[in-house]
Amino acid sequence: MLIIISMKNKLQLLDRCECLTLLTTRASSFWSRINFILNFPLVITSSAMCIINSISDDGNQVKIPNIVVNAISVLMMSIINNIKAGEKYDNFKRLSQLFLELAQEIDGIDGDEIDIDKYNMLVLKYDNLIRTCDFEHIPNNIKTEVSMVFQNNNKYIPIQLNGVMGGFKRNSRPVEMSSEIV
């Protein structure tokens, strides 16, 4: 017995994958910028250390400046290790590519119907990607922007973004229920 899923379910999944592709792409850009901003002072302090040490032959003259520059370097490295912006950038970049691949796979399905096994496999891939996405590391302004873009175009958004802004409109039809006494 072959069970068929309608085109609507396929398009919902496609919309959600496209939404998460955009979300994770913007999140990776954000964390890339943060990573650059945090690493830049480290380059400056390393250069300063080199200049300070080459200025004088007497180590006692540069002792205090060396201590200050070393303290700033250690502080910056501690912040970088604590925030882990590079890891977050890599994670969101990888997720962006995987959501895009999944969206392309869904989009590549011909016809208005898809069999239930294929649909379940696509949903499983989607769910596995969702589990690895750290939504708490995505700034709310990015979540809101992406949510608004998709909602304003009457596209489906993932449930993880449904509540990021007040007054959201769920794009689903009301369920008509009827019963009959037999």
- Domain regions of the chain by residue span: 4-162
Q: What is the DSSP string of the chain?
A: ---EE-HHHHHHHHHHHHHHHHHHHHHHHHHHHHHHHHHHHHHHHHHHHHHHHHH-S-TTTTHHHHHHHHHHHHHHHHHHHHH-HHHHHHHHHHHHHHHHHHHHHHHT--SS-EEHHHHHHHHHHHHHHHHH--GGGS-HHHHHHHHHHHHHTT----HHHHTSSTT-----PPPP------
* pLDDT of 177 higher than 70: no
pLDDT tens digit sequence for 152-172: 999 999 988 876 555 445 554
Q: What local confidence, expressed as pLDDT, does residue 176 receive? A: 47
Counting residues of the chain whose pLDDT is more than 90, the rounded percentage is 58
4-15 tens-digit pLDDT:
666 788 889 999
